[in-house]
Amino acid sequence: MGDKTDVWQGTLALMVLKTLETLGPLHGYGIARRIEQTSGRRLVVNYGTLYPALLKLEQEGAIASEWGVSENHRKAKFYRLTRAGRKQLAKEARDWEQATAILARFLSPEEGAS
């Protein structure tokens, strides 16, 4: 297995939104584990980065939260995607696809020359 890396700048919100769209409401620990699992265990989600990102997304209205009980019977804050979050996810996904397509042109010899 390769080296683990921190989540890339500017991508955490997109990964959180996509995770909540795919799996429905989750607590922070569940979101972090899913992102790590989806990355093939190549990304490490730092809780000092995740929780401020969740707070920011909640303040922006992209996600909403409510207290519940986790699988291990502990009190946990569960996050869910809002309608505004679905719109933000669609926009961020389009932006990311466009950015990676542009970058791919630079990384492909000859391809970007046309």
Q: What is the pLDDT of residues 84-106, one digit of tens each?
A: 999 999 999 999 999 999 999 99
Q: Which two tokens stand for residue 80?
A: 């869910």
In whole angstroms, give the CA distance from residue 81 to residue 64: 7
Q: Is residue 111 over pLDDT 70?
A: no
**pLDDT tens per residue across span 16-74:** 999 999 999 999 999 999 999 999 999 989 889 999 999 999 999 999 999 999 989 99
Domain count across the chain = 1
Confidence (pLDDT) at 109: 75
pTM, whole model, 2 decimals?
Answer: 0.85
Q: Which domain holds residue 58?
A: 5-113
Residues in the chain: 114
**Which CATH number covers residue 91?**
1.10.10.10
Reported as half-sphere exposure (CB side, CA atoms, 13 A), residue 15 has a value of 24
